[in-house]
């Protein structure tokens, strides 16, 4: 009997050791693991260093925290159907990447527009079309967003790269982005992120108070950075965009036709457009570095703009601008009302400095004159200041050029 009991004890000990090496428990000696990630995720989960397959529209439920350890790669396959990682309001996504060991979310084919990227929902304040404080997402999930919780915390994303996103999910009204933030709050951390070769925007904010630091948008087909619904993040810095092959605006800024008394603040911005880069749709005129429309506003400083036109397509030459004001109301209420501030702006290889052009065919010219102190150029602006590493390198190519 004693021998049987001893044998069972040894077996239990061995089983416990094996489980620790491959489970979500903290174990520094654990070897990389493999596994499949499906949803919904209804209980806290830690994914240790490993290689995972994400299958389907995986939702992290309210009250649940999902954590990824540094160095992991998560791959989906568009052949299996729609794929995305969605954090529902009240859920949290914690990604503990490092400069040397980023966490990479990618898609098997390597084709832009192959999955839905990372989508996070919150209940921070928004101001959508008509001034409403709640709205419904356009990402195919058709979920409500908006609220009064300015400090909403959707988790902490550190050293995360999203590749080849931009798919249209289900019956969504538009493609998704590399990273999409629906009314996320200031308690959410977004730091050292890369959106790489997506078919829509690199990053899009739908209202909220969250801020983002040290972000790269590389080779995304639509806009590098985009927001609406009264986004008002205050601590944004070090944004870098390089548009290659296809690309629209460096920054598309709008406030959903609301003349707000608040606005976001971003410092240290670099927006570059490579030679030969064309709009997403041939013949389009979305080729400006920073576009303001629909009562867009904000405070932006230390900006480097390079390569925004002119470019020729067929027999037509298009003139890009560093700053574009696209409608009369934005010019009257935001420019003249001193709600747009652009200081220490360095402009090179760009056709026009400031363009006022109301939408239409052809566009109607708008006279844009910034009030004193609201706009200044410089030859010494430095733009984004980022430290390179594995997090900013894909296929041996440094994305910061």
Based on the domain organization, do 218 and 322 belong to the same domain?
no
Residue 71 resides in a domain: yes
CA angle, 325 then 294 then 191, to 5°: 90
- Tens of pLDDT, residue by residue over 81-122, are 999 999 999 999 999 999 999 999 999 999 999 999 999 999
Q: What is the count of structural domains for the chain? A: 2
Residue 268 resides in a domain: yes
Q: Quote the domain boundaries for residue 300.
A: 250-274+285-392
Residue 244 resides in a domain: no
Report the percent of the chain where pLDDT is more than 90. Answer: 81
Q: What is the pLDDT of residue 30?
A: 57
Based on the domain organization, do 40 and 140 belong to the same domain?
yes
Based on the domain organization, do 189 and 225 belong to the same domain?
yes
Residues 6+ away with beta carbon under 8 Å from 242 = 216, 217, 218, 219, 272, 273, 274, 399, 400, 401
Q: How many residues appear in the chain?
A: 401
Based on the domain organization, do 192 and 289 belong to the same domain?
no
Based on the domain organization, do 264 and 152 belong to the same domain?
no
Residue 364 or 131, more confident? 131
Name the region of 124 (left: φ>0; alpha: ψ -120 to 50; beta: rest): beta
Based on the domain organization, do 291 and 198 belong to the same domain?
no
CA-to-CA dists, residue 230 to 21, 258, 293, angstroms: 46, 8, 12
> 342 pairs with which residues across the strands?
300, 375
Residue 280 resides in a domain: no
Flag whether pLDDT at 210 surpasses 80: yes
Q: What is the pLDDT of residue 48?
A: 97
Q: What is the pLDDT of residue 7?
A: 39
Based on the domain organization, do 190 and 262 belong to the same domain?
no
Residue 318 or 65, more confident? 65
- How far, in Å, CA of 81 to CA of 146, rounded? 29
Going by C-alpha positions, the residue among 170, 166, 239 that lies closest to residue 197 is: 166
pLDDT band with cut points at 50, 70 and 90 for residue 310: confident
> 362 pairs with which residues across the strands?
none
- Tens of pLDDT, residue by residue over 319-350, are 889 999 999 999 999 999 999 999 999 999 99
Contact 108, 78 (CB under 8 A): yes
Residue 17 resides in a domain: no
Q: What is the pLDDT of residue 73?
A: 98
Residues 6+ away with beta carbon under 8 Å from 341 = 298, 299, 300, 301, 373, 374, 375
Q: What is the pLDDT of residue 286?
A: 85
DSSP run (H or E) holding 213: strand 213-218
Q: What is the pLDDT of residue 4?
A: 39
DSSP states of 345-397 as a string?
Answer: EEEES-SEEEEEEESSSSPEE----PPTTSEEE-S---------SGGGEETTE
Flag whether pLDDT at 275 surpasses 50: yes
Mean of the per-residue pLDDT values for the chain?
91
Q: How far apart are the first and last CA of the chain?
A: 71
Based on the domain organization, do 209 and 293 belong to the same domain?
no
Q: By mean pLDDT, which of 72-76, 221-225, 284-288 is the weakest?
A: 284-288
- How far, in Å, CA of 8 to CA of 207, rounded? 58
Mean predicted confidence (pLDDT) in 286-304: 96
Based on the domain organization, do 292 and 207 belong to the same domain?
no
Q: What is the pLDDT of residue 173?
A: 76
- Tens of pLDDT, residue by residue over 189-202, are 999 999 999 999 99
Residue 45 resides in a domain: yes
Q: By mean pLDDT, which of 70-74, 158-162, 284-288, 377-381 is the weakest?
A: 284-288
Contact 70, 101 (CB under 8 A): yes
Mean predicted confidence (pLDDT) in 40-59: 98
pLDDT band with cut points at 50, 70 and 90 for residue 311: confident
Residue 243 resides in a domain: no
Based on the domain organization, do 59 and 109 belong to the same domain?
yes
Based on the domain organization, do 85 and 58 belong to the same domain?
yes
Residue 104 resides in a domain: yes
Q: By mean pLDDT, which of 28-32, 84-88, 145-149, 184-188 is the weakest?
A: 28-32
Residue 24 or 55, more confident? 55
pLDDT band with cut points at 50, 70 and 90 for residue 365: very high
Report the percent of the chain where pLDDT is more than 70. Answer: 92
Based on the domain organization, do 222 and 296 belong to the same domain?
no
* SS3 assignment, position 311: strand
Cβ-based neighbour number of residue 360 at 10 Å = 7
């Amino acid at each position: 009997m004693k021998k049987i009991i001893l044998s069972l004890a040894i077996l239990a000990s061995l089983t416990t050791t094996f489980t620790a090496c491959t489970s979500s428990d903290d174990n520094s000696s654990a070897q990389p693991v493999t596994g499949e990630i499906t949803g919904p995720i209804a209980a806290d989960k830690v994914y240790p260093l490993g290689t995972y397959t994400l299958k389907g529209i995986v939702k992290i439920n309210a009250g649940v925290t999902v954590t990824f350890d540094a160095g992991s790669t998560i791959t989906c396959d568009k052949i299996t159907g729609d794929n995305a990682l969605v954090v529902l309001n009240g859920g949290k996504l914690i990604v503990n990447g490092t400069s040397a060991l980023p966490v990479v979310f990618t898609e098997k084919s390597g084709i832009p527009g192959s999955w839905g990227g990372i989508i996070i929902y919150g209940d921070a304040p928004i101001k959508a079309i008509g001034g409403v404080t709640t709205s419904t997402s356009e990402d195919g999930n058709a979920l409500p967003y908006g609220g009064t919780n300015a400090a909403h915390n959707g988790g902490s994303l550190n050293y995360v790269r999203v590749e080849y996103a931009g798919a249209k999910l289900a019956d969504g009204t538009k493609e998704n982005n590399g990273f999409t933030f629906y009314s996320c709050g200031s308690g959410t951390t977004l730091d050292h992120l890369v959106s790489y070769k997506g078919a829509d925007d690199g990053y899009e904010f739908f209202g909220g108070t969250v801020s983002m630091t040290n972000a790269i948008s590389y080779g995304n087909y639509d806009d590098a950075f985009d927001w609406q619904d009264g986004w008002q993040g205050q601590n944004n810095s070090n944004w870098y965009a390089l548009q290659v092959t296809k690309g629209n605006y460096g920054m598309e800024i709008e406030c959903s036709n609301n003349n707000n008394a608040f606005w976001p603040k971003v410092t240290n911005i670099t927006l570059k457009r490579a030679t030969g880069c064309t709009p997403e749709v041939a013949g389009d005129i979305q080729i400006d570095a920073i576009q303001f429309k629909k009562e867009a506003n904000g405070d932006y400083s230390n900006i480097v703009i390079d390569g925004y036109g002119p470019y020729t397509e067929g027999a037509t030459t298009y003139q890009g601008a560093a700053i574009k004001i696209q409608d009369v109301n934005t010019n009257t209420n935001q420019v003249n009302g001193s709600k747009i501030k652009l200081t220490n702006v360095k402009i090179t290889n760009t056709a026009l400095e400031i363009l006022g052009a109301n939408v239409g065919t052809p566009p109607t010219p708008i006279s844009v004159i910034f009030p004193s102190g609201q706009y200044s150029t410089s030859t010494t602006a430095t733009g984004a200041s980022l430290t390179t590493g594995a997090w900013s390198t894909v296929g041996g190519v440094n994305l910061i050029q």
